[in-house]
């Protein structure tokens, strides 16, 4: 005779849930993490065979380990002790803040995300929007740097596309680690940025404890050989001009550097330029201190632009936003830079001369694109009118002037006539230039945009610099 045991339904459900959680925690998740880790290791082994700068071990260290190292850095602990006495704050409260800052700053690099997902998205996005060109890159110089060098890529900042464009074009050379502003700390963007090796910066924070934690992380990353990407201007150019460098991150990287040490710090100047900056009107409004557009207006503008682009693509008349070009300049060794000036360890307290030198190098290699050439001519005389032949002759004269100064323009297909046609087409499609009875003149309502694009190369002219753009009435 058999007996049966009856259990309430809720007990069975709870038992099944508990068993499923145990199976998930002790079998499925570990197996899944093992598979991902194995694939990531394969990706790292594969990319390290072709990268000019290999992925350093620091970048592959577990995030929790780096957070602990940063939290208990002796320089951080020293400041905590000082503030605890000075401000009469419990040490535990300050250490809790340090832990929060450390977790906020330290990235969680994932090779699969960077070299597979992010690279795929960046490649398709930039090619959908622009004709992407790599003007110059000294790969041989990068190969010669070796693992004992800490490399910092310094870029001018013209568009939010800079992050994507540089990631795409640098992916065959190294894995960049960006300093990203607080604007990107939104879900799921911040998770993606951390997985790509980026770290967040509170640019206007006056908290000395936060600044110390950030400084220690930047120096840890530099000492660990992490290739970093920094926008020394600190923010997007509002008027199109190359701005002076902000000294914060640059000062953190170089502070206390000893040229006699084994590890060198090498700066790579990077120049970026576009025939069209997608957010140009928004930046000009900000430069003129006009109120921000409403969310409804921004959404309407975006979907209008998207619909217009799709309609042009269907009709076979869709043009991309011109050319996007990047130049990688000659590496600058901090060790050699200090030795040339007879500077010893700790004598680089004032980084302004270094920042000025590096910004000049960035300016010298900023790509000279068709739109910048054409707009430069019109901003010299807003009332001028050119026929097609006259404009091409004037651009050729401008190019001769630039070459005499030692600069090289990017000429699509090596055809000067085609380069002018590309610049004119982009400007007329946006009604910045107007064709009237066979001549091209500047649209009086778009003078601000003319100056904005001309200003991208204004620093290349010593005596005839582009003047300040007029105030924007309604962009």
Does the pLDDT value for residue 309 go beyond 80? Answer: no
Q: How confident is the model at residue 68 (pLDDT cuts 50, 70, 90)?
A: very high
- Quote the pLDDT of residue 472: 38
**Is the domain defined by 370-460 classed in CATH 1.10.10.10?**
yes
Q: What is the mean pLDDT of residues 363-390?
A: 95
Does the pLDDT value for residue 305 go beyond 80? Answer: no
**Is the domain defined by 105-278+321-364 classed in CATH 3.40.1130.10?**
yes
Q: How confident is the model at residue 470 (pLDDT cuts 50, 70, 90)?
A: very low
What does the mean pLDDT of the chain come to?
Answer: 85
105-278+321-364 and 370-460 have identical folds: no
Could you tell me the residue ranges of all domains in the chain? 105-278+321-364, 370-460
Element (H, E) at 393: helix 388-404
Query: What pTM value is reported for the model?
Result: 0.84
- Quote the pLDDT of residue 4: 66
Percent of the chain with pLDDT over 90: 48
Tell whether the torsion through CA atoms of 113, 115, 47 and 173 is positive or negative: negative
pLDDT tens digits for 403-456?
A: 888 898 999 999 999 999 999 999 999 999 999 888 999 999 999 999 999 999
- Quote the pLDDT of residue 109: 85
Lowest mean pLDDT among 51-60, 121-130, 241-250, 447-456: 51-60
| Ordered DSSP codes for 284-319 | HHHHTTPPPPPHHHHHHHHHHHHHHHHHHHHTT---
134-156 core/surface letters (b: 16 or more CB in 10 A; e: else): ebebeeeebeebeeebbbbbbbb
- Quote the pLDDT of residue 460: 94
**How deeply is 424 buried, as exposed, middle or buried, from its count of CB atoms within 10 A (0-12, 13-18, 19+)?**
buried
Say which residue, 3 or 362, is predicted with more confidence.
Answer: 362
- Say if CB 454 and CB 427 are below 8 A apart: no
- Quote the pLDDT of residue 468: 42
Tell whether the torsion through CA atoms of 296, 285, 250 and 44 is positive or negative: positive
Lowest mean pLDDT among 86-100, 183-197, 212-226, 248-262: 183-197
DSSP code, position 19? H
């Amino acid at each position: 005779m058999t007996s049966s045991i009856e259990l309430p339904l809720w007990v069975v459900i709870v038992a099944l849930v508990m068993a499923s959680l145990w199976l998930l925690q002790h079998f499925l998740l570990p197996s899944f993490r093992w598979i991902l880790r194995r694939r990531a290791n394969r990706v790292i082994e594969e990319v390290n065979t072709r990268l000019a700068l290999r992925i350093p071990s620091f970048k592959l260290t577990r995030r929790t380990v780096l957070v602990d190292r940063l939290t208990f850095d002796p320089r951080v602990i020293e400041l905590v002790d000082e503030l605890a006495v000075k401000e009469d704050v419990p040490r535990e409260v300050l250490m809790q803040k340090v832990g929060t800052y450390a977790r906020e700053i330290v990235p969680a690099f994932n090779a699969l995300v960077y070299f597979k997902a992010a690279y795929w998205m960046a490649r398709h996005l930039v090619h959908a929007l622009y004709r992407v060109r790599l003007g110059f890159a000294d790969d041989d110089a990068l190969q010669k740097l070796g693992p004992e060098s800490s490399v910092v890529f310094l870029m001018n900042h013209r568009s939010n596309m800079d992050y994507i464009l540089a990631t795409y074009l640098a992916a065959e050379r190294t894995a960049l680690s960006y300093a990203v502003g607080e604007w990107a700390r939104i879900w799921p963007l911040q998770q993606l940025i951390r997985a790509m090796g980026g770290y967040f910066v509170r640019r206007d924070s006056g908290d000395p404890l936060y600044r110390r934690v950030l400084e220690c992380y930047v120096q840890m990353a530099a000492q660990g050989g992490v290739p970093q990407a920094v926008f020394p201007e600190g923010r997007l150019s509002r008027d199109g001009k190359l701005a002076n460098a902000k000294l914060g991150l640059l000062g953190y990287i170089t502070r206390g550097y000893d040229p006699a040490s084994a590890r060198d710090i090498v700066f790579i100047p990077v120049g970026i330029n576009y025939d069209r900056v997608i957010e140009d009107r928004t930046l000009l409004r900000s430069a003129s201190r006009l109120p921000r557009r409403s969310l409804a207006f921004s959404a309407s503008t975006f979907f209008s632009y998207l619909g217009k682009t799709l309609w042009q693509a269907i009709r076979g008349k869709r043009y991309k936003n011109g050319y996007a070009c990047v130049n990688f300049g000659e590496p600058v060794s901090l060790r050699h830079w200090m030795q040339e000036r007879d500077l010893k360890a700790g004598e680089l307290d004032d980084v302004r001369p270094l920042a000025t030198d590096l910004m000049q190098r960035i300016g010298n290699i900023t790509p000279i694109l068709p739109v910048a050439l054409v707009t430069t001519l019109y901003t010299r005389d807003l009332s001028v009118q050119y026929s097609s032949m006259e404009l091409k002759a004037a651009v050729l004269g401008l190019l001769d002037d630039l070459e005499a100064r030692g600069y090289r323009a990017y000429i699509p297909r090596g055809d000067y006539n085609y380069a002018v046609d590309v610049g004119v087409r982009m400007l007329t499609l946006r009604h910045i230039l107007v064709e009237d009875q066979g001549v091209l003149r500047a649209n009086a309502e778009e003078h601000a945009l003319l100056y904005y694009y001309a200003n991208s190369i204004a620093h290349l002219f010593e005596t005839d610099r582009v003047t300040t753009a007029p105030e924007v009435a309604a962009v």
